[in-house]
Every structure is written in C-alpha cells, then in structure tokens.
C-alpha cells in the first residue's frame, strides 16, 4: 500500500548549512517516527519558500542515504504573510500501516502550519 507523509520545518536562515541541517532533522524525524527504511520510500517532493535559495533540500536526503530514491525540489507559492523560511516535504512510502498510524512531522515554527496533524 502507498501512503503519503507530510512534514515541514522552519529554517533559521538562508544559509546552505542551516538548510542542510534543518532538512536532515526533518527527514530523520519522518523516518524514525514512521519506522521506515529508505527501501520503503518511493519518492519525496521537497518545496521551499522563495526566501530559501542557498541549497537544494534534496541534497540533505541524498547525504542520508536516499541514493536511489527519486527526489525533486520546487518552490512554494509566494503567498503574502506566509510563514518564512519553510521547507516542506511529501514522502510517498510503501507501508502496511493504516493511515491513522502515519505520523506527519512539523518541527520548529512549522508546527503552526498544521496544528491539527502535527505530532
């Protein structure tokens, strides 16, 4: 069965190391909370707000071992008043876990984006 897992993290600054550290934290939390291996990950879509341009978020996943997982980065819509410096992800995974057991991960200031599903 295929499930989608959402997540987001607010990054401290538009700095390469800050982006890589934040995305590493986010991806690690998604994998740990959902007890996943990279073999179970089908693909991951990363988006970044337009104020994050110093690095591609997918590089952090590659450094974590996502070598044969299709990854793509895109820019979020520049909505006035939106939370700044946010990287979001949607991971498609192969799992037998019911939808109710999937843990979506929102970290740092990004918790405000989805208080209804953030854990």
Nearby residues of 38 by Cβ (< 8 Å), 6 or more positions away: 31, 64, 65, 66, 67, 68, 69
Which residues is 45 bridged to in the sheet? 72, 90
> What does the alpha-carbon distance between residue 36 and residue 100 come to, in Å, rounded to a whole number?
16
Average model confidence (pLDDT) for the chain?
94
State the average pLDDT over residues 92-108.
94
For the whole prediction, is pTM greater than 0.75? yes
* Mean pLDDT computed over 43-61: 98
Residue 109 backbone phi and psi in degrees, to 5? -65, -15
Q: What residue ranges in the chain does DSSP mark as E strands?
A: 2-10, 41-48, 71-75, 86-94, 105-107
**What is the tens place of the pLDDT at every residue in 10-42?**
999 999 999 999 999 999 999 999 999 999 999
Residues with a catalytic annotation lie at 6, 62, 73, 76, 88, 106, 114
Determine the CATH number of domain 2-113.
Answer: 3.30.1330.40
């Amino acid at each position: 069965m295929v499930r989608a897992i959402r997540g987001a993290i607010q990054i401290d600054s538009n700095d390469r190391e800050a982006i890589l550290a934040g995305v590493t934290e986010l991806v690690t939390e998604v994998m740990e909370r959902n007890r996943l291996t990279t073999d179970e990950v089908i693909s991951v879509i990363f988006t970044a707000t337009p104020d994050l341009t110093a690095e591609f978020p997918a590089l952090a996943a590659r450094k974590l071992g996502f070598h044969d997982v299709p990854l793509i980065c895109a820019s979020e819509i520049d909505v006035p008043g939106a939370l700044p410096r946010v990287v979001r992800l949607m991971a498609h995974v192969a799992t037998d876990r019911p939808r109710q057991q999937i843990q979506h991960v929102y970290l740092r200031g990004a918790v405000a984006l989805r208080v209804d599903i953030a854990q």
